[in-house]
Amino acid sequence: MPPIVFDILSILGALIRLLGMVMFGLGAGWFALEVLRKGQQVWQFQIAIFLGFCGLAVGLANFLSAGALGAFGIGVGAAMFVWGMPKLKKEKKED
């Protein structure tokens, strides 16, 4: 096979890895927020989730490339903005 094929496959593999890390970041961020909301009564549970999430980030920083780690950070940041913001209550107009 010509070398251009390997270059194209390498670029496609990097793009798929980046998109996968964005999706993994979205899922991890959503899971962390959801579990934190459901475990509001027990502070030890919240600390365990927070430390687990920080441990995941440290592990990924050790084993991933900079681009993949950035994609994970973008996914987590998007999850925090989408699902972490408080929902605005609509006021009903009284007649």
Summarised one tens digit per residue, pLDDT across range 6-36 is 999 999 999 999 999 999 999 999 988 888 8
Distance CA 31, CA 36 (A): 8
Give the model's pLDDT for residue 93. 67
Domain range annotation of the chain: 39-80
**Mean pLDDT value of segment 85-94:** 73
Q: Are 49 and 36 in contact (CB under 8 A)?
A: yes
Q: What is the pLDDT of residues 30-75, one digit of tens each?
A: 988 888 888 777 888 888 888 998 999 899 999 988 888 999 999 9
CA distances from 84 to 3, 13, 73 (A): 46, 31, 15
